[in-house]
Structure 1
Amino acid sequence: MAKHVRFEEIYTSRPRTQWLLTVSLLAAVSLFVVGLCIGVFGIRSEDTFNCGESHTSFLPFTATESPSVSPSTFLPEDVVRDKLFAEFKAENIRKHLLVLTRESHPAGSPANNRVAEYIRSHLSLHLGADNVNESTYDVLLSRPNNSNPNVVKIVSAGGEDHTVLRNKENQQTYEVDTAIFGFSAQAAVESERLFYVNTGSDHDYELLEKQGLLDEINGSVVLLRYGGFRGAQVDKAAEHGAKAVLLYLDPSAVAKYGIDESKVFPNGAWMPDTAMERGVLSIYKGDPLSQSFVSEIESKTKYRTALRNVHFPKIPAVPIGYGDAQKLFNLMDNSTALPSHLWRPSEFMRYSLGGKLLEGRKITVKTTNHNERSVIKNIIGQVHGCQEPDRYVILGNHYDAWTMGGIDPNSGTATLLEIVRVMGVLRTRDSWCPRRTIVFASWDAEEYGLVGSTEWAEEHMQILEERAVAYINIDAAVRGRLSFFALGVPLLSNVIYSAAKLVPDPAGSPDKKLSVHDVWASTTKGAPQVYPLGSGSDYATFVNMLGIPSGRYHREALSDIRGRIGHRTEINPYVCLQRI
């Protein structure tokens, strides 16, 4: 049986500065995966070169010619590898991360536009301005009303109000939007009944039916803990007649070893009781109003469906922290036993099934977020290939974030920016040229349903299907310090294994040098495994829509502390990354 590793052991066993090395090795692995996908790191001396005409016509700009490469400047693969390692600078990644997490920057906000300009300036500096441009789209987003935020309150029998919802975590001095679920229904509802339905699965409602309580959900407010896709949880509650949903992060997932101040942020990486996970409730990938068509800015109605025909949840839903959830549990009737012990996942919470609120109280839920059309922009850069310029290896990540995005996405974005710099140095200083064209993509509005990458793929679908070799995603590149974790299609498994064997791991020592693959193998029960892809980041656009071989990987902790540590919450700035 695998050793049960506590966060406290991990946290104290390694210096906090090691996270910089962790990010650096992710950058190195990314580059070597790209290198293996392009065939070779450099042009072989016996090859002929065709660096004149550019065939990257799918990019929305006229690209310049590739730099001239002559056989005399040919660099063997091992030489290029050594140059790459020597050029990587962890301090650059740290500096990028400080800038990228300076302010909350959800898609559609002025702050996100500032992040986009920072990325574009960096790519232009190292790849040349003519090799960088942006793709813009007009899409539907969901925004909070910060002057009139969502409300969850308890009204006593005498009419006194007691506000339950804390709209912000208040752990830092950052300015952030109030917490919402994107595309939630905008409504105000009231009920005298509040039920806890675990994660709101079909099985959970079946258990309520066995207890003769399923009909009581009709007209009630439902309290759920995260489990599965939040949009499906809300839809299922609506099917059973619930008026509203409150969704919280349970300590069993985000505060496993205790909820006192010594064990949660800012004293550790586990979440405090105020942490709320934001996200969208939409089932759509891409702009909800223009499914399968590009959301062109020039056209206001072309290929767009009416908002009334789009499926969004019909009831309001609000994220809350487990501290606020505990307040509600304390006001709920606990005379009826919970249907299963699985409904009581944490020893640090007091759970109640509920029903009518005690002492004649009522619960009010009001949501004020609204839908609006906004312009989003993807930043696209390229390094031309010299043998097969019309074959593309794409390295991408999104840059929008619900808050500051220290882990998701900016640990990956900072990594991507350093990879761009390193490739730019080899390209200009050593006249290096990859075999195939490398495309660097920074996607906008991923948090709203992979919108930026989906619109770009819809715009260039035919040429991407014909010419793209692979897509590598580096979203949330660092989630812990212990081991490498990879997902991908089987076609890329050997590529990822080979790249992991080439990169030294910071867990090694001068007398015992270990590769990423060595440490990866030591933290698994058998041989390292590349797991199947899901649908939670921009790789889904390329593998599911276009059939392009795709992969993603990150550095993480072991399974018992894998979870939503700082994920999509205000507890997610640069300092949080140092904690893990």
Structure 2
Amino acid sequence: MKLSSGYDEGKEVPEQNISITPNRSPAAQRSDVHQEPVMAAATLLIFIIVSLEAAMDQARSTISKIFNGEPHSYTRFNLTQNMEGDNSQVEMKLSSDMDEEVGGNGVGEHLNHNSNRKPYVAQRFGRTPKNLCFMAAATLLIFIIGYLIGYLVHRKKDLAPTPAASVLPFEEPALHETGAAPLMDWDDVKNLLAAKLSATKFESVFSEFASNSHRAGSPGDEALGNKVLKKFKEYGMNTWTDEHFVKVQDPPVSGYNKFVFNGTEQRPNGFLSYSATGTRTGAVVFAHYGQENDFTLLRGKNINLSGRVVLVKAGKISFAEKVANAAKMNASAVLIYADPVDYSIGDDTPLFGHVHMGSGDPYTPGFPSFNHTQFPPVQSSGLPTILAQTITTGMANKILRKLGGQNAPREWESYYNLGDEKDVITVEVNNVLTEKRINNVFGVIKGFVDADRYVVIGAQRDAWGPGFATSTVGTSVLVELARSISDMVKNDGFKPRRSIVFASWSAGEYGSVGATEWMEGYLSSLSMKAFSYINLDGVVAGRTGFKVAASPLLHSLIESTLKEVNSPIFSQVTKGNWESNALEPLKLDNAAYPFLAFSGIPSVSFRFAPSNADYQYFGTLLDTRKNLDQVTGQQIPQLAETAAKFAGHIALRLVHDHLLRMDVTKYDKIIRTRVAQINGKVWNVKRLRPDFLPKALTVQWLISASGSYSRASRRLQTDIENSDLEDIEMCRIINDRIMTWVFSVPVIAVAGTSCHPAVSPKDSPFAHILLGSGPLSLFNHLEALRTSNPEADANLFRNQFALVTWTVQGCANSLAGDIWSLDNEI
């Protein structure tokens, strides 16, 4: 057996020279210093290998002699390896000849058990102690080599640079979620959130974000935005801002708005943004709250409303809806006041608001108000064409007491007269249109599985005055939720599957301008990604009642949240039917309304409120901490804590679960109920007005579309129940089916109103076709046809009917999933 090494035993190992150049970086110098013991150890290792080779040669020779030189059988192979350019070969030859080993009878003498001789091996070692020394030395050298190798490896780890704080050490890799199941149990998640939020922490946050002057675009608004941004950064969130240049209408700077009645001029300090400007003169008519049924009662009394100045009470519906209803009656102006029955704000408190029948910048409908946007020369059809102005309670009482004419309808329970042609009033509005720069502020907690899917939690930051209930409480809840959830992720091991975006909006008082412009700017990005919106505006406005408005998709999640969050108010709500106790329609002036109506994002808005009334200081300069304390019995921090838990619970459930917590079957009941009502109304119209609708018109198509939707929703529910929750891809596919349906057509809140994408946001900012009370409402249009309303249009109805049918069928197709799963029954 022959072993040849690539190293020459007689050749000296060249000496290693290590020098540190003075102008090299410290890191490089440290690297060279660390290399010195390594090079020394390498030199020692080479020397040991050479020595070991020599010892092994001697050992092989001894072993060969012990066994008389040759093995019993052999084969032949060559082992060649490249070491630093030299070839080292090991050649082995094994012989099968047995003759040299075996004596005459074929059995070796050393195998004879009767022999008195010592074993041959023992004899050989006993006679040559030198060989035993070589064997011992070889064993010791092998041990030393193993020790040095272990030392060098351990030394290399010690000398390696420490990883950055954001990089985990190699020997302790981060837990990686390979399945769809969350790493943290839901009970642990909700308990963590409850532990992070406390009423005592809210006091300091209230103090930090309270401000007496922070109207949209003002220095106060910008200062609050910077505070929110700073907080988000402190919590380690990714942050950004969104700048817009919007046109809003403010009261005149040098002049004033006024009205003249019975020769007396009054100059109210309040105003309504987006009113038409100019001067109008007409007879006053009292129209209660200015709702559609109020004007119906006036028409029933044969009161001509054309050219009249309508006086209405605040409440029930938005300012914009009151003005729009009056405009449909051809009125020339609207005056709005706070009646003492609904408001205890005194005789001289001004009211503020807007009258745009829509949201966002009405001078860029459908377009974002970025600085680089080429603004089209159009404006929203939701802008009123008549004058609108708020007046104080005292001013209104002076008008009401002098009105003549008929008595008010019994249904109004009012002792005022309606007014006659002699009660003439002149209204002058001189509001000015100005451009303002506003900033929305954002922070995001990224998800660990589907980071590109996110829930948005938002709060309005601006206010007409102090706006403590309007914006301060909501902003404080937003910031505290961001702090708590960020802390759960950083320090408690919580890993949300999806992302959470926290948004602080500006220009909310002008009609959710900041939020709407953001949606218009990023609508293509929000589609299929932003799967829910949680509104925090006005969440604390009382302490005895609780109201919530939401998309039907979120009803089951809201119900479970009410039961899981510990609160005496929630316990009272869930004692009976929670929907009848707490659910209310989503109003036009609610900040969640544009998310649902314009973008189709399932949304929720909630509030703690007085038992049977609204918070009376909204839209006034009396919205202060002191007044809110009186309404809530000084329980603001405790109510804010509960509101934060309610909102946080919904958000965390949406980003925690493997599948989105959205009840797709809820719409099935709503649509089937509404289709049955439409069918009945169509039959009545055909019976009473056979000339209005063609005989060929049938509701069968709509019924078929409703059936397609029912089957698709049940099929999706079955797929959800039979899905493998550990399969991330399968969960994502099902979630995409849910979201594709959600975004196929924008869907409106509690009534489930849907609007068709073919309807222009310029002409109809919120086109409610299937369900609801919008101008394109199919249900309302049928009623107008039945009662021979002059506004009824049979051709428009047929167009609406077609849109409704294909809207429902489109929803069914989206739910069904793949193209080969679609129904073709229509």
Partner in structure 2 of residue 253 of structure 1: 342
Aligned AA for 2:623? N
**SS at structure 1 position matched to 2:443:** strand
* 1:87–1:422 Cα contact (<8 Å) kept: yes
1:222 aligns with 2:222: no
Aligned AA for 2:339? D
Which of 254, 258, 266 aligns to 1:151? It is 258
1:317 aligns with 2:388: yes
What do the CA deviations read for 1:166-197 (whole angstroms, capped 9, x no partner)? Answer: 52xxxxxxxxxxx1101112223445x33223
Aligned AA for 2:196? E
Which of 310, 317, 323 aligns to 1:234? It is 323
Partner in structure 2 of residue 92 of structure 1: 201
Partner in structure 2 of residue 35 of structure 1: none
Partner in structure 2 of residue 352 of structure 1: 417
What do the CA deviations read for 1:294-317 (whole angstroms, capped 9, x no partner)? Answer: 222123xx142245x855323322
Aligned AA for 1:280? H
Shift in CA distance, 206/84, structure 1 to aligned 2, threshold 3 Å:
closer
Aligned-pair CA distance for 1:72? 11
Aligned-pair CA distance for 1:210? 4.8
What do the CA deviations read for 1:394-414 (whole angstroms, capped 9, x no partner)? Answer: 111222222222222332221
Aligned AA for 1:417? V
Shift in CA distance, 67/304, structure 1 to aligned 2, threshold 3 Å:
farther
Aligned AA for 1:341? R
Matched residues in 2 for 1:370 and 1:490: separation?
41
Shift in CA distance, 411/524, structure 1 to aligned 2, threshold 3 Å:
farther
1:342 aligns with 2:397: no
Partner in structure 2 of residue 119 of structure 1: 228
Bigger Cα displacement from structure 2, 114-123 vs 96-105? 96-105
* 1:485–1:520 Cα contact (<8 Å) kept: no
Partner in structure 2 of residue 368 of structure 1: 430
Partner in structure 1 of residue 363 of structure 2: 289
* 1:105–1:402 Cα contact (<8 Å) kept: yes
Shift in CA distance, 101/366, structure 1 to aligned 2, threshold 3 Å:
farther
Shift in CA distance, 496/303, structure 1 to aligned 2, threshold 3 Å:
same
Aligned-pair CA distance for 1:151? 1.9
* 1:493–1:530 Cα contact (<8 Å) kept: no
Partner in structure 1 of residue 376 of structure 2: 304
Matched residues in 2 for 1:385 and 1:202: separation?
47
Shift in CA distance, 201/520, structure 1 to aligned 2, threshold 3 Å:
closer
* 1:207–1:339 Cα contact (<8 Å) kept: no
Matched residues in 1 for 2:245 and 2:356: separation?
17
**SS at structure 2 position matched to 1:438:** strand
Matched residues in 2 for 1:247 and 1:420: separation?
39
* 2:534–2:603 Cα contact (<8 Å) kept: yes
Matched residues in 2 for 1:218 and 1:112: separation?
42
Matched residues in 2 for 1:533 and 1:70: separation?
44
Which of 594, 601, 615 aligns to 1:548? It is 601
Matched residues in 1 for 2:167 and 2:624: separation?
39
Aligned AA for 2:416? Y
Partner in structure 2 of residue 520 of structure 1: 573
Partner in structure 2 of residue 468 of structure 1: 530
* 1:107–1:376 Cα contact (<8 Å) kept: yes
Shift in CA distance, 480/460, structure 1 to aligned 2, threshold 3 Å:
same
What do the CA deviations read for 1:250-279 (whole angstroms, capped 9, x no partner)? Answer: 23333xxxxxxxxxxxxxxx4333344422
Aligned AA for 1:565? Q
Matched residues in 2 for 1:238 and 1:195: separation?
14
1:244 aligns with 2:320: no
1:332 aligns with 2:422: no
Aligned-pair CA distance for 1:373? 2.0
* 1:393–1:439 Cα contact (<8 Å) kept: yes
1:139 aligns with 2:246: yes
Judging by fraction of residues, say which structure has more helix. 2
What do the CA deviations read for 1:527-549 (whole angstroms, capped 9, x no partner)? Answer: 76545544432322332233322
Aligned-pair CA distance for 1:201? 4.2
Aligned-pair CA distance for 1:146? 4.6
* 2:559–2:578 Cα contact (<8 Å) kept: no
| Unaligned residue ranges in structure 1 (runs of 5+) | 1-64, 157-161, 168-178, 255-269, 508-515
Aligned AA for 1:332? L
Partner in structure 2 of residue 107 of structure 1: 216
* 1:497–1:517 Cα contact (<8 Å) kept: no
* 1:127–1:420 Cα contact (<8 Å) kept: no
Shift in CA distance, 571/340, structure 1 to aligned 2, threshold 3 Å:
same
* 1:500–1:517 Cα contact (<8 Å) kept: yes
* 2:609–2:615 Cα contact (<8 Å) kept: no
Which of 347, 367, 387 aligns to 1:273? It is 347
Shift in CA distance, 482/219, structure 1 to aligned 2, threshold 3 Å:
closer
Shift in CA distance, 383/352, structure 1 to aligned 2, threshold 3 Å:
same
Aligned-pair CA distance for 1:481? 0.9
**SS at structure 1 position matched to 2:235:** helix
Q: How many residues align?
A: 457
Shift in CA distance, 66/399, structure 1 to aligned 2, threshold 3 Å:
farther
**SS at structure 2 position matched to 1:135:** strand
**SS at structure 2 position matched to 1:493:** helix
Matched residues in 2 for 1:213 and 1:466: separation?
51
* 1:285–1:449 Cα contact (<8 Å) kept: yes
**SS at structure 2 position matched to 1:381:** strand
Matched residues in 1 for 2:533 and 2:299: separation?
46
What do the CA deviations read for 1:434-470 (whole angstroms, capped 9, x no partner)? Answer: 2211111112222222222222122222232222232
* 1:198–1:204 Cα contact (<8 Å) kept: yes
Alignment of 1:475-514 (within 5 A): 475-505=537-567, 507=568
Matched residues in 2 for 1:103 and 1:451: separation?
21
Which of 199, 217, 220 aligns to 2:289? It is 199
* 1:66–1:386 Cα contact (<8 Å) kept: no
Matched residues in 2 for 1:163 and 1:97: separation?
41
* 2:442–2:504 Cα contact (<8 Å) kept: yes
* 1:67–1:433 Cα contact (<8 Å) kept: no
Partner in structure 2 of residue 393 of structure 1: 455
**SS at structure 1 position matched to 2:342:** helix
Partner in structure 2 of residue 70 of structure 1: 174
TM-score (norm 2): 0.51
Shift in CA distance, 66/385, structure 1 to aligned 2, threshold 3 Å:
farther
| Unaligned residue ranges in structure 2 (runs of 5+) | 1-164, 178-182, 632-826
Matched residues in 2 for 1:248 and 1:549: separation?
34
Aligned AA for 2:629? Q
Matched residues in 1 for 2:204 and 2:576: separation?
30
What do the CA deviations read for 1:56-82 (whole angstroms, capped 9, x no partner)? Answer: xxxxxxxxx999793499654434433
**SS at structure 2 position matched to 1:457:** helix
Partner in structure 1 of residue 621 of structure 2: 570
* 2:446–2:499 Cα contact (<8 Å) kept: yes
Aligned-pair CA distance for 1:374? 1.8
Bigger Cα displacement from structure 2, 324-333 vs 413-422? 324-333
Aligned-pair CA distance for 1:490? 2.5
Matched residues in 2 for 1:469 and 1:208: separation?
44
Aligned-pair CA distance for 1:99? 4.1
Partner in structure 2 of residue 511 of structure 1: none
Matched residues in 2 for 1:411 and 1:243: separation?
39
What do the CA deviations read for 1:355-411 (whole angstroms, capped 9, x no partner)? Answer: 3567xxx64422221112222221111011112212212111222222222222332
Aligned AA for 2:312? L
TM-score (norm 1): 0.71
Partner in structure 1 of residue 472 of structure 2: 410
**SS at structure 2 position matched to 1:578:** helix
* 1:543–1:550 Cα contact (<8 Å) kept: yes
Partner in structure 1 of residue 21 of structure 2: none
